[in-house]
Amino acid sequence: MNKTFLATVAAFLLFSTTALAQVEQPSQVTVQGTALITKESTADSIPTTHRTTKSGGLLVGYSYQFNSWAGVEGNYGYTRNTQNYFASIGQSSIEADMHELTGSFVAHIPVRVANIRPYALAGAGALIFDPTDRYLLNGVDRQTKPAFVYGGGFNFDLTRNFGVRAEYRGLVYKVPDFSLNNLNLDKVTHLAQPSIGFFVRF
């Protein structure tokens, strides 16, 4: 049994070393400008519609590539927008800072085109909605919503260590209600997040 265990550990270490050796520069830091476009949602039980203002933001990330096809990535994003709720009794608006924290598995797609490295990603994280003092309603609370993230894009190598990244990310999460029952739509919405920026590899 000990021999089997030692052989398994040795094989794992050998595979890991080989996998890491395949990537000369496994680490990458990215900085991107983003657009954020949220789908409109309407509650089934009550006539309330949720609309989020379109906004621009910043997305920064760090990724590590284990081998030629697999890696992981962590991202932080920020924007400020207004969450609007339209009901028969009137409209409620809440301006909020939105913080995006996600972790993803990254699948690198092998292509034979020089200097272009396409990829796809899928993962999970959280969106944190932090109300500002503008349009502040009584009882409004900071709120965190779990989110599923998917997407893909291209890394364009300009030099050995530097390049341009173009990406699309989609996030699926529940419409925030800021802990107010009258704003609870109990609906899932979708955020489209196209972005472009640059990366540094090392």
Summarised one tens digit per residue, pLDDT across range 18-72 is 444 467 899 999 999 999 999 999 987 777 899 999 999 999 999 999 998 999 9
pLDDT tens-digit profile of 85-117?
998 778 899 999 999 999 999 999 988 788 999
What pLDDT, on the 0 to 100 scale, is given for residue 73? 98
- CATH no. for 25-201: 2.40.160.20
pLDDT band at 182 (very low <50, low <70, confident <90, very high): confident
Beta bridge partners of 145: 127
* CA–CA gap between residue 139 and residue 160 (Å, rounded): 53
Annotated domain spans of the chain: 25-201
What pLDDT, on the 0 to 100 scale, is given for residue 136? 75
Radius of gyration of the chain (CA): 21
Report the predicted TM-score, pTM, of the whole model to 2 decimal places. 0.85
Largest CA distance in the chain: 73
Exposed e or buried b for every residue in 190-201, given b needs 16+ CB within 10 A? ebbbbbebbbeb
